[in-house]
Each structure stands twice: as C-alpha cells, then as structure tokens.
Chains A and B, each alone.
Chain A
C-alpha cells in the first residue's frame, strides 16, 4: 500500500534504519513484536479499554465560535489537550507501554523536549509497573520545570543532558546511547514519528486514532458535523500532525497543513523548520529532512517551544512533502505567542506553545481560509508553558 513503509522501513526514499549494529536486532524484534500485537484482537482490546477509561478518548471536537467569528472561518479544535496528562503524547506511550509489558522488558527509557512525552511515558510506566528513566536537555529542564516535578512524582528518574545545545536532539541521542548498552532488558519509548524503523511507523499507528476519531466526529451527517476542508497541526517530530493527517492522506478534498517553528525567523537561521528550510540527510537513524551544514554536521534548532526545538522531522512527513500529500508552513516565536494569548482570551483555553504555532499560521492565512471549515489539532494544553510565557512579560 502507498502509505505504509516498505520492508526496509522506507517511505519512498525516506526512513530506513541507520543505527549501530548493536541495536539492529532489537529493532527487528520490535518490528515483529509490534506487528503481532497490532494484529492481535486482545492487545487492541486492552489498548482500547485504556484509551477509553484512562486516557479519556475519544477527545471532543469543539467549535471555536468566538475565534471563528473573529477570523472569518468555521474553526474547530480537536481537543487533544483534554487527554490525560494534557497532550496527544499519551496515545503513544500507553500503546508502547503495553507493548513493553508484552515483550517482557522491565525497564523503559524515553527522551523529552517539552516534558509532555516524558510525563506521558512516566504515567504509562506508573500505570503498568515499569521502571522509567527520562532524558531531558538541561535547557528544557529549566524552561519546563513543572513537567520535571510531574515526572519525578510519577516515579521516573529525570536525567538532564548537557551535550550539544542541551535540548531535544541531545536528549534523543542520550536515550539512544543508553539503549545501545541496555537493549536486552530495556524498551525505548520514542516520543514522535522519528528514529529508525520501526518507530516512525509504530508511533503513527498509535497516533492515527486522532484522525480516525475526527473522521467519525466530522462526517457531514449533520450541520454540526461538517467535513473538514483544511486540517492544521504543528510539526516538531511530527506525531500529532501525522496522527491527524494519516487517515485523510488518501482524501484529495482535504488540505493538510503542517506548521513548523520559524523561531526568530527563517532568515536568521535560528528555527526548527527542517521540512521548510532543511535538506535531506540522516538524523537519529532515519533519512529525512534535517538542519545541517555543508559538511553534514547537525545544526542546532531554535524555538520558543521546547517540543518544536528539533533539527529533524519524521521521515513520513518528508515523504508527504515531496509527494505533495501535505504542505508545510512556519510560524515564528512572536506569532506563536500572539496566538497563545488570543486563544486563551477568546476561548478560555490555554494552549501549549506548540499548537499555538498552528493557530498562528491560521491567523496569518485568514484570507485564504475565509469561510472554510478548518480543524486545528490542539495537541496539548499550556499549563506547562504558563511560567515561561509569564516570564516574557505578558
């Protein structure tokens, strides 16, 4: 099928598994284990039960009346912010947590940027009785302190990473280094549709519940259930975006728009826009778009939002870009902040800074979107960002 990776984990010319040999057997073991679990009705029943009664799925869709009026469009929010722990990340961690148990591994490691994936992983591990270690860039430990406390209360050990720029890229690398040594008793719950095969495929399968729910919630069967014309999501690694895009990818009537972080502006070079301003290369085990210099050294990303502060992107998005299945745009730090405040003050919803980027693009594109039915994937709530935004003097 067009939209699945081939047996080497490729989405077109992207993806694959570029990893130290020590990890390769574990990656193929993981592929086999997930394929078997995913085809096993009892695994699906267990997962669905947890998604329903623990995570709180399906998450609602909400018509943002005041924003719609203000922006001159029919704007809906897919409320991933209402999922347990406050973001879409939990869809993935509960699924991979169950898989870890099924594989008989007692220990879990994870990386985190904004801390949302770390919290979601620590939560799943507490629920399932697994040991949990979370790697987090030292800079992110500073700007997302609340989530560090949450992870620790949930029983996880948080290890600050001080290499490189001390952000998400470095946390992913630190987790991979741990895994090279511990792979025999440890599962790595990666937080997005990134990394070597089978991770991008597995995380997409676990996140596509977002788009599947949306299809049934907005199916055109009644005036208050219009079919989306445009779906907009922020793209860090790309898991919330792929989760909502994928079930619509074969549907030419719906425009899919991914919004990356333009940071201080694309021209400054200080941004996280791997798809829009990067080039193909290999980062964290996959061939994809990335930020790199002329000699192939990974460049540091920049974004006000820790979850988008990443110089790579999921390989399936690279494929979506090159085959025009989705288009990719950007929003700057300042635009995202403005959107953050607008949503808080007009809808009574404090969004995470990550999806604030998606709203910022919607605000900027109001002429193009006039009168259209637009769905914003509200991937997470902004409690974690309140301290940071307050410190900026707003």
Chain B
C-alpha cells in the first residue's frame, strides 16, 4: 500500500503534515518498541496498525535505562533487549516498515546509543533505511547542536520537545532550531497511561504556535480515544504509545497482538479524525 508521495526523510514528514493541514486533519502516530513480540514479527504489528489508519510511526529502539519512559515501555524495552534486539536489528525493522507501509517512520531513542555509533554515522544509517525523523528522549535543545547538524546534512528531521514547564526563552530556542516538529509533552511525568485527559495541551500548543510555525505533535499519557480526540483539536499530530504497547505485552503471540492493535488503532484514528 505504498503511496506515490515520498515518505522518507525530513521531506516525508513535511509532506505528511502539509497534506494533513490541507485537509484540516490531525495525524495519528502510534509508538511501538522495535523487536516486539520478536524482531521477525515486529514488522507485522506495524502493518496491522497501518491498515487500521495510522499515518506514520514512532519506532522505539529499546534502551536499558530509559529515563523518559514509564513501566509499560520500560518492560517492552527489557523484553526486546532480552530477546536480543540490537540497534542494527531495529534499523532493519525501520527499513521493512518503510518499504511495506510507505508511511513515514520516526526513530525514537536515547542519547547514548547515538553517541556510541557517532551522531553523523547514526544519521547516515537513518537516511539509508528511509527513516523520516529522529526523536531523542534525553536531548534538550541546549545539547542538540551536533544532532541538528547531522540530521540536516543527511536529510532526516530532528524532533525537539516542549513541556508544560518549558518557559518562553526555551520555547524560542526550540523554535529557532526549526525542528521537524515540536513534540508537545502533554502531561508532566514519564510515558505511561493516564486516567484523565491532559488539561495542559491547549495552553502549551498555543504557546508553541506563538513562536513557531512548525507542526506540533502531542504525546505522553494519551491513553484513550477520548484523550486523543481532545488533544487533536489543538495539534497537528497525536502520538499514542503505552496504551498500544500494553496490548502487545498482554497478548499471547504476534497474531493476537496484531488483532488487538488493529482495533485499538482504528478507534484512535477515528477519534483523531473527528
């Protein structure tokens, strides 16, 4: 089901948001840890989510010490690592997901695996596998210089964060860097499911819009279609992570996981499209 529009590189992300803005639509970007339930079966989960209406993906490289992640994604990472998932293996998953779904893929990781490979080399690899963007959970704009340079050189979009605690001075620094999109942290705390919808997203999105023309994507704690619907009114995209990863952790096998994801993603896609 690959579309004619190029979905790779920073341009792929730009195309996605341009098309969505034209249609007045908010995009849905499910997060999934690579290597779940196994490295081989991983791609099938993304295919199922694509069929259910995902507009692109955040593919997580499991990390041993994920400071920004709550219990669900931590457990997913531990399982994937225990099953022998490597950075190379994850990049292969990205390559397969890009070619089989034709959707833009944003790789999510932490600073250290990137530094270990070398920031430039990591970005070359991202470009090679057709990734559209890079999210580094523990990379604030203050330390982003080398990452901005390398992603730009190799045509990959770097995502930067804005949190409810981020003040105007920091917001302007983020805007100046012109990230591929601004990841609006919808709630205080690490990733994980929440009972209540965030009451912070409207205000944060407005503050970001004041200083930046880049797309805004909300994530962290968006756990139900209702949460997603509420957030979607204020932003260009919505990331749903733990609520989906949990389904995979609870499923018996890859078939079970794919089935559960298909119906959950369809519900989120409908909510975001409302």
Structural contact, A297 and B188, CB atoms closer than 8 A: no
**Is B68's beta carbon under 8 Å from chain A?**
yes
Structural contact, B188 and A26, CB atoms closer than 8 A: no
A17-B142, A21-B162, A24-B142 known; A297+B111 contact, CB < 8 A: no
Structural contact, B81 and A20, CB atoms closer than 8 A: no
Structural contact, B138 and A281, CB atoms closer than 8 A: no
Chain A residue contacts of B143, Cβ below 8 A? 16-18
A183's nearest neighbour on chain B, judged by CB, is: B165
**Is A164's beta carbon under 8 Å from chain B?**
yes
**Is B57's beta carbon under 8 Å from chain A?**
no
B-binding segment of A101-109, A169-177, A362-370? A169-177
**Is B189's beta carbon under 8 Å from chain A?**
yes
A180-B68, A183-B188 known; A22+B165 contact, CB < 8 A: yes
Structural contact, A296 and B117, CB atoms closer than 8 A: yes
Please report the C-alpha to C-alpha distance between residue A281 and residue B110 in the assembled complex, in whole angstroms: 11
Please report the C-alpha to C-alpha distance between residue A221 and residue B78 in the assembled complex, in whole angstroms: 59
A292-B112, A298-B112 known; A21+B166 contact, CB < 8 A: yes
Cβ-neighbour of B111 out of A24, A184, A282 (below 8 A): A282
Residues facing A in B112-130 (CB within 8 A) are 112-117
Cβ-neighbour of A180 out of B78, B139, B189 (below 8 A): B189
**Is A163's beta carbon under 8 Å from chain B?**
yes
Please report the C-alpha to C-alpha distance between residue A176 and residue B64 in the assembled complex, in whole angstroms: 15
Structural contact, B111 and A18, CB atoms closer than 8 A: yes
A24-B142, A285-B138 known; A181+B112 contact, CB < 8 A: no
Residues facing B in A294-335 (CB within 8 A) are 294-298
Interface Cβ pair total, 8 Å cutoff: 115
Chain A residue contacts of B137, Cβ below 8 A? 20
Chain B residue contacts of A282, Cβ below 8 A? 110-112, 115, 138
Structural contact, A21 and B111, CB atoms closer than 8 A: no
Chain A residue contacts of B140, Cβ below 8 A? 17-21, 24
Cβ-neighbour of B65 out of A173, A184, A294 (below 8 A): A173
Please report the C-alpha to C-alpha distance between residue A173 and residue B110 in the assembled complex, in whole angstroms: 14
Chain B residue contacts of A24, Cβ below 8 A? 140, 142, 163, 165-166, 170
Please report the C-alpha to C-alpha distance between residue A292 and residue B110 in the assembled complex, in whole angstroms: 14
Instruction: With both chains docked as a complex, state the minimum distance between the C-beta of A137 and any C-beta of chain B, in angstroms.
Output: 13
Cβ-neighbour of A283 out of B68, B86, B112 (below 8 A): B112
Chain A residue contacts of B74, Cβ below 8 A? 163
Interface centre among A20, A181, A284, A292 (most CB of B within 10 A): A20
Residues facing A in B130-149 (CB within 8 A) are 137-143
Cβ-neighbour of B67 out of A8, A177, A292 (below 8 A): A177
Chain B residue contacts of A393, Cβ below 8 A? none
- What does the 1/0 interface line of B66-82 toward A look like (CB < 8 Å)? 01101000100010010
Please report the C-alpha to C-alpha distance between residue A295 and residue B167 in the assembled complex, in whole angstroms: 35
**Is B251's beta carbon under 8 Å from chain A?**
no
**Is A252's beta carbon under 8 Å from chain B?**
no
Please report the C-alpha to C-alpha distance between residue A177 and residue B68 in the assembled complex, in whole angstroms: 7
**Is B254's beta carbon under 8 Å from chain A?**
no
Residues of B within 8 A of A (CB): 63-65, 67-68, 70, 74, 78, 81, 86-87, 110-117, 137-143, 160-167, 170, 185, 188-190
9 A-B pairs, CB-CB below 8 angstroms? A18-B139, A20-B67, A20-B185, A21-B162, A182-B188, A183-B188, A284-B67, A292-B112, A296-B114
Given contacts A18-B143, A21-B140, A173-B67, 20 further A-B contacts (CB under 8 A): A16-B143, A18-B111, A19-B67, A19-B138, A21-B165, A22-B163, A22-B165, A24-B165, A26-B165, A177-B67, A180-B189, A181-B189, A182-B188, A281-B116, A292-B116, A295-B86, A295-B113, A295-B117, A296-B117, A298-B65
